Copies of this chain bind each other. A is one copy, B any other.
Amino acid sequence: MSLSFQLLTTAGRARRGRLATPHGVIETPAFMPVGTLGAVKGVTPQELAAAGASVMLSNLYHLALRPGVDTVERLGGIHAFTGWRGPILTDSGGFQVFSLEGLRKIDDGGVSFRSHLDGSPLRFTPEGVVSLQERMGVDIAMVLDECPPWPIERAVAETSWKRTLAWARRAREAWQGKGGGLFGIVQGSVFPDLRQRAAEELSQVEFDGYAIGGVSVGESESDRHAVVEWTAPALPQGKPRYLMGVGYPGDILHAVAQGVDLFDCVLPSRNARHGVLFTREGVLRIKNARYKDDPRPLDPGCGCPACARTSRAFLHHLTRAGELTAAVLGTLHNLRFYLDFMGEIRQAIELGTFEDLAVRLASQSTEPAHGLESLAPVIFDPHDQARS
């Protein structure tokens, strides 16, 4: 195995770990900013590192369609291609393919689909998806999974997770292990026993890490939390656990408390482009007229390029005017917020104050500062939380 995971300390089920990859170390719990096409929208690789990111997430489905894996390989692999020098995890694209309703046809061997760009016919198999990710030289590859929609009938969910498990075994066989590692994915929708069985069976297959997939597809917060509670403890203790496509700070905190180590979500970047900005005191919508003359930084505790130099009033002005710099500054801020938040979580686990942090954030979530919105998912939109 080319990845090594070390558990440094725990606080209840919460874990403080260190995941070593060919392109560097990821201190966990960690948040992985989403660079679907090889770059976080509006952010240079240098700015992403300066924001505190230790790992970037990208997406095989999108890169395979454009520019194509051949191109990425010819250009020296995904790190040389994107200019991001740290670890890269690629999602396999299961989620994207299964979102292509009417354009895809699944069988036990894999999934055939048409490109959402030009309609050209393509096929993903468990073996092929592993090979494509290995060819790109990613640090962490994900198996091809079937990501069912929500809601779903129990019988369909059962067929689905069993196929995902069979595919995971085939992927593991196909994995060359020349560099980086391969993560399996647990499915099973919102059915407790299916999730637990899926987790137990997948744990019998030796992966470098285990992911919880099929959440953030429209289910309720309580369903999402329940899935994590059933699944995470059933995964191998000595391997990293990754909750895919999640989520709000409250979701992340809950999952860390259940023993999850890795997260990704488009929320910080996508929300920023819509003027929805995270602060330690709550969520603010920067277009709101109340910020027109507000001289304060977005968040006095933040050291991002926006907070270091400018005010809520300036970001309000740029956002209202539709200026590109508003999206850039907002994205850098929201990413820094998420990455700082993960740092606080790591420190709290080390110091034995994780429960205090959880209590403090829970109270902030229900009582945001005047004029702000709760950090809890008051702005929940299933599309906002989608794996992208």
What is the interface of chain A, defined by CB distance below 8 A to chain B?
Answer: 37-47, 66-67, 71, 74-76, 80-83, 85, 273, 292-293, 295, 305-306, 308-311, 313-314, 316-318, 320-321, 323-325, 327-329, 332
Contacts and interface: CB of A to CB of B under 8 A. Distances in A.
B321 A324 contact: no
Given A313-B67, A313-B75, A325 B40 contact: yes
| Oligomer copy total | 2
A309 B46 contact: yes
B76 A314 contact: no
A25 B320 CA distance: 33
Contact of A38 (B39, B292, B293, B317): B317
A76 B311 CA distance: 11
B324 A83 contact: no
Contacts of A328: 42-44, 324, 328
Tell me the interface secondary structure of chain A in the complex: helix
A41 B325 contact: yes
Contacts of A74: 293, 295
B67 A311 contact: no
A314 B75 contact: yes
Nearest to A318: B39
A42 B320 contact: no
Given A75-B293, A76-B295, A293-B71, A321 B37 contact: yes
A75 B38 CA distance: 38
Contacts of A46: 305, 308-309
Contacts of A273: 324
